[in-house]
Amino acid sequence: MKAVEFSRFGGPEVLEIADLPKPHPGPGQVRIAVRAAGINASDWQKRQGLLDEELPQTLGYEAAGIVDELGAGVTDVAVGDRVFGFSAVSGAQAELTVLSNYAPIPPSLGFAEAAALPAATETAARALDQLGVEKGDTLLINGASGSVGSAAVQLAVARGARVIGTGSPATHDALRSLGAEPVAYGAGLAERIRALAPDGVDLALDVAGSGILPELVTLAGGAEHVITIADFAGAQRHGVRFSRGDAGRALYVITQIGELIESGRFALPVGRTFPLTDVAEAHRVGEAGRVRGKLVLLVG
């Protein structure tokens, strides 16, 4: 089967479409014929050698497609079903991949839209869980307009929280449509937030990593009320928790997100799609950061 692989670290030019052995599912897993696979910042971090040292490496942890092989004990889906989810190991950007956590694709979604869901929704739900976001809380999300940020806005609103979200003025209409109260980035941010929440906020989530953790700590009344997914060094300096998957992942979210989508309470736009063979160009576009919305590879 064809799959994205690289045998040396470097720029997008090191990415290749290689012929690799077909994977097979273990107990409780399914194999899918991949129709779409999500792209994340961790992909180019891996390609640059910032995450894993071994070579060669494949890429991709989220995909959507059609079940074509069942592992032992799988009874909740059948061959031919449309599903999306997380790959068992890196390698979802391929013609075939094994999913260890999966759910039916919501009826209103295509494969590209479904492939955009797993990583963004899990990251957002995990951070909200770690913060303990509940009904009645006022939550500030710094960087609310990206894929993870907009997922966090919608999941928090679904929990009954009031959400204040930072973003550029061009994103404010979109943030309002998601249920957030938008606030512009830049000088005077804390004052603009206090105009909306004079007593500060209950909790704060930093998705953007823009060096704003000290302000978030002040607005939320302490470092224990703040989580970042984007500023590891800042978290260490300011005593803020850095959310990472090895502390427990919110994998449950992919089985719950369909209900929110079908009821019109959740949407995660795809910014741009690329054929699998154009994965290098997808990396260039992603690293440039000029596309709003998720980048997705189309397979087959």
Residue at 259 is within a domain: no
Instruction: Quote the pLDDT of residue 88.
Output: 79
The answer to whether residue 247 scores a pLDDT higher than 80 is: no
Is omega for the bond preceding 56 within 30 degrees of 0, making it cis? yes
pTM score, whole prediction:
0.94
Give the model confidence (pLDDT) of 216-231 as tens digits.
999 999 999 999 999 9
Clarify whether residues 16 and 108 are in a common domain: yes
Clarify whether residues 15 and 66 are in a common domain: yes
The answer to whether residue 176 scores a pLDDT higher than 80 is: yes
Instruction: Quote the pLDDT of residue 261.
Output: 97
Give the model confidence (pLDDT) of 30-50 as tens digits.
999 999 999 998 899 999 998
Give the model confidence (pLDDT) of 94-139 as tens digits.
999 999 999 999 999 999 999 999 999 999 999 999 999 999 999 9
Residue at 45 is within a domain: yes
Clarify whether residues 15 and 70 are in a common domain: yes
Give the model confidence (pLDDT) of 177-197 as tens digits.
999 999 998 888 899 999 999
Question: What is the distance between the alpha carbons of residues 131 and 101, in angstroms, rounded to a whole number?
Answer: 24
Clarify whether residues 133 and 108 are in a common domain: no
Residue at 257 is within a domain: no
- Rounded to the nearest 5 percent, the helix, strand and coil shares of the chain are 35, 25, 40
Clarify whether residues 125 and 243 are in a common domain: yes
Instruction: Quote the pLDDT of residue 185.
Output: 87
Instruction: Quote the pLDDT of residue 209.
Output: 85
Residue at 252 is within a domain: no
Residue at 142 is within a domain: yes
Instruction: Quote the pLDDT of residue 109.
Output: 97
| pLDDT average, residue stretch 51-57 | 91
Clarify whether residues 58 and 174 are in a common domain: no
Extended beta strands in 119-256, E state: 138-142, 162-167, 181-184, 203-206, 226-228, 241-242
Clarify whether residues 23 and 109 are in a common domain: yes
Residue at 170 is within a domain: yes
In the chain, the number of structural domains is 2
Clarify whether residues 57 and 159 are in a common domain: no
Clarify whether residues 40 and 70 are in a common domain: yes
Residue at 255 is within a domain: no
% of the chain surpassing 70 pLDDT? 99
Clarify whether residues 7 and 112 are in a common domain: yes
Please give the structure tokens belonging to residue 289: 């950061």
**pLDDT interval class at 292 (50, 70, 90):** confident
**pLDDT interval class at 245 (50, 70, 90):** confident
Clarify whether residues 197 and 145 are in a common domain: yes
Question: What is the distance between the alpha carbons of residues 134 and 275, in angstroms, rounded to a whole number?
Answer: 40
Residue at 256 is within a domain: no
CATH assignment of the domain containing 187: 3.90.180.10
Domain that holds residue 231: 121-247
Clarify whether residues 131 and 94 are in a common domain: no
